[in-house]
């Protein structure tokens, strides 16, 4: 007679002493509890079971924005031209009259769609992207329940962050949403986008934060959140929510070779949005802080010359006269590593932080100068958005008169900067240095951002008045065992930059 494995196990359990059997039951229970505890977090890592409860509370605050404008020029096939007295004249006149009249051959009405969200249901304030409403003659806000409101006024817009604040007059209080802090987001956190992709209103998509502080070359203050939540054409201006139902970003752009979502979307972080929107509401414009420095990243070569790790802070290449930086004692060659209590880890981080600083606030600016840390006090000024350089552009044609004896170093042919050359090249009379008249195409210098007509004003952070000073700096670096020489170069527009040339 044969027995099954199960029967054998039961028989074995019956032969166990009571105490041993009890200990076995306890151990089994502990094992099951451990398995349940392990499975709980694992299941949570797969994402929320449903976002429906959150979406139901938010979807009425998300709106579709439709715009229309009159565009110049014909659209498609031109309208038929019917001769006077033709039998078809009455037919065509009647046809177009029934459809609102024959449009002008030089004008046509075009429309576009986007998304937005209500942040104040009593005042009727709606946030969207500036590019959604740009050039619009009429803006209509369409709500999830089918109602519509025409925008009374664009309270303000900011092209640099692509944000706009709209005003409607609600007949009753609107459903509104609030902002959360984008600084608290972590890569991998769940987020939800609601918007109007391809005109399909009230669409909900879910994903995670893929990256933070993305620079996509959209503007000077790029600090985008990247998400794989589906964002498509028409989602622009819509909100990106965290799982608490707070707005943590404004969906603005996608990366796509096809025009559709491939899982790489970008949103303006809410911490930037709140700063901009509050100023648009109060002033109708954005008032940004101004420091008055020209900065650049620290490359590997420049870092080696300065004795600093690559991508350390922001290197000051130039200081605007009479600017807050100049008055605070910041100098070319300083490396700004901390501003108003915030670490500057990348060059692009400084303009964003300065721009968001209160106008007139006196802040501590920590710099590295000749390897030594210093803390300076700087009063932040108001950025004039219309500021631009007005110095004449330099020409790359050298004067026809026979030049004085030249000096060749690092693949550069140099001459002292004379008064005649300052006039010919449009340099400030106060500028001193060695002007570059020729660049050896086979040299390391030819691979750097240097042009004929540029002036070397510093070498290894020491003033240059004549080419011999550059030669002396090269010799000092070689004796110290260095690998490259750090030059401060200026063009006739007044733009300065540091360049490290390896030996």
User: Is 131 annotated to bind ligand?
Assistant: yes
Backbone φ and ψ for 14, nearest 5 degrees, come out as -65, -25
CB 270 within 8 A of CB 180: yes
Q: Flag whether 8 is marked binding.
A: no
Encoded tokens for 380: 């932040």
Task: List beta partners, residue 156.
Answer: 165
Rounded to whole angstroms, the Cα distance separating 161 from 385 reads 13
Instruction: Give me the residue label for tokens 């401060």.
Output: 488
Beta strands in 392-491 (DSSP E): 407-409, 412-416, 434-439, 455-459, 462-463, 484-490
Q: Is 203 annotated as a binding residue?
A: no
DSSP-assigned letters across all residues of 92-103: HHHHHHHTTSPP
Which residue, 400, 429, 437, 428, is CA-closest to 495? 428
Query: Could you give the CA distance from residue 343 to residue 153 in angstroms, rounded to a whole number?
Result: 39
Q: Could you give the CA distance from residue 229 to residue 206 in angstroms, rounded to a whole number?
A: 5
The catalytic position among 162, 223, 228, 491 is: 162
| Three-state SS sequence of 38-80 | HHHHHHHHCCCCCCHHHHHHHHHHEEEEEEEEEEECCCCCCCC
Q: Say which residues have a Cβ less than 8 Å from residue 456's Cβ, sequence separation at least 6.
A: 412, 414, 433, 434, 435, 436, 464, 470, 487, 488, 489
Q: Give which of 321, 339, 299 is closest to 498, Cα–Cα.
A: 299
Active-site residue, 228 included: no
- Residue whose pair of structure tokens reads 């004929």 in the numeric block: 452
Task: Tell me: is residue 234 an annotated ligand-binding position.
Answer: yes
Name the catalytic one among 66, 112, 131, 158.
Answer: 131
**In this structure, are residues 463 and 431 in contact, taking their beta carbons and an 8 Å threshold?**
no
Give 484's strand partners. 502
Alpha-carbon distance 108 to 463, whole Å? 62
Active-site residue flag, 144: no
145 is in an annotated binding site: no
The whole-angstrom separation of Cα 149 and Cα 168 is: 7
| Cα dihedral value 30, 32, 35, 37, nearest 10 | -70
**Whether the Cβ atoms of residue 141 and residue 256 lie closer than 8 Å to each other:** no
Task: Decide if 51 contacts 103 (C-beta within 8 A).
Answer: no
Decide if 236 is catalytic.
yes
Q: Which has the closest alpha carbon to 234: 206, 260, 207?
A: 260
Radius of gyration of the chain (CA): 33
Cβ contact 239:249 at 8 Å? yes
Coil vs helix vs strand at 325: helix
Q: Note whether 154 and 125 are within 8 A (CB).
A: no
Which one is catalytic: 115, 236, 261, 305?
A: 236
- The span from the CA of 175 to the CA of 122, in Å, is 9
Annotated binding residues, as ranges? 131, 162, 234-236
Catalytic residues: 131, 162, 236
Annotated binding residues for substrate, as ranges? 131, 162, 234-236
């Amino acid at each position: 007679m044969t027995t099954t494995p199960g029967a054998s196990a039961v028989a074995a359990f019956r032969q166990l002493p009571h105490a041993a059997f009890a200990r076995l039951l306890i151990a089994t229970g502990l094992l099951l509890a451990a398995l349940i505890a392990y499975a709980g977090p694992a299941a949570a890592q797969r994402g929320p079971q449903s976002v429906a409860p959150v979406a139901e509370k938010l979807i009425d605050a998300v709106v579709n924005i439709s715009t229309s404008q009159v565009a110049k020029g014909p659209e498609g096939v031109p309208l038929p031209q019917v001769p006077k007295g033709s039998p078809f004249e009455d037919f065509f006149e009647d046809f177009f009259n029934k459809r609102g009249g024959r449009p002008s051959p030089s004008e046509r009405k075009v429309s576009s769609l986007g998304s937005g969200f209500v942040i104040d249901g009593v005042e009727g304030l709606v946030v969207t992207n500036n590019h959604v409403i740009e050039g619009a003659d009429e803006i209509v806000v369409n709500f999830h329940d089918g109602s519509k409101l025409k925008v009374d006024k664009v309270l303000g817009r900011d092209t640099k962050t692509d944000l706009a604040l709209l005003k409607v007059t609600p007949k009753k209080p609107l459903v509104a949403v609030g902002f959360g802090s984008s600084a608290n987001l972590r890569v991998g956190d769940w987020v939800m986008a609601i918007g109007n992709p391809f005109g399909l209103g009230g669409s909900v998509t879910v994903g995670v934060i893929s990256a933070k502080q993305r620079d996509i070359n959209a503007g000077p203050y790029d600090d985008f959140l990247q998400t794989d939540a589906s964002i498509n054409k028409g989602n622009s201006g819509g909100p990106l929510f965290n799982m608490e139902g707070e707005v943590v970003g404004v969906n603005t752009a996608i990366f796509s070779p096809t025009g559709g979502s491939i899982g790489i979307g970008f949103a303006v972080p809410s911490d930037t949005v709140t700063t901009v929107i509050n100023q648009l509401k109060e002033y109708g414009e954005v008032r940004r802080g101004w420091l008055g420095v020209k900065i650049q990243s620290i490359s590997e070569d420049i870092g080696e010359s300065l004795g600093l790790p690559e991508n350390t802070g922001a290197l000051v290449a130039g200081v605007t006269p009479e600017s807050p930086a100049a008055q605070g004692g910041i100098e070319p060659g300083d490396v700004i590593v901390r501003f108003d209590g915030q670490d500057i880890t990348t060059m692009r981080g400084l303009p964003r932080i300065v721009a968001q600083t209160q106008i007139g606030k006196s802040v501590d600016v920590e710099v590295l100068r000749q390897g030594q840390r210093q803390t300076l006090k700087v009063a932040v000024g108001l950025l004039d958005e219309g500021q631009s350089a007005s110095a004449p552009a330099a020409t790359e044609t050298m004067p026809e008169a026979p030049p004085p004896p030249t000096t060749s170093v690092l693949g550069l042919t140099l001459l002292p900067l004379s008064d005649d050359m300052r006039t010919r090249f449009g340099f400030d009379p106060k500028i001193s240095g060695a002007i570059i008249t020729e660049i050896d195409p086979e040299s390391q210098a030819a691979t750097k951002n240097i042009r004929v007509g540029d002036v070397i004003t510093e070498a290894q952070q020491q003033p240059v008045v004549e080419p011999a000073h550059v030669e002396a700096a090269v010799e000092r670096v070689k004796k110290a065992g260095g690998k490259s020489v750090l030059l401060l170069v200026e063009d006739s527009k007044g733009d300065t930059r540091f360049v490290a040339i390896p030996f």
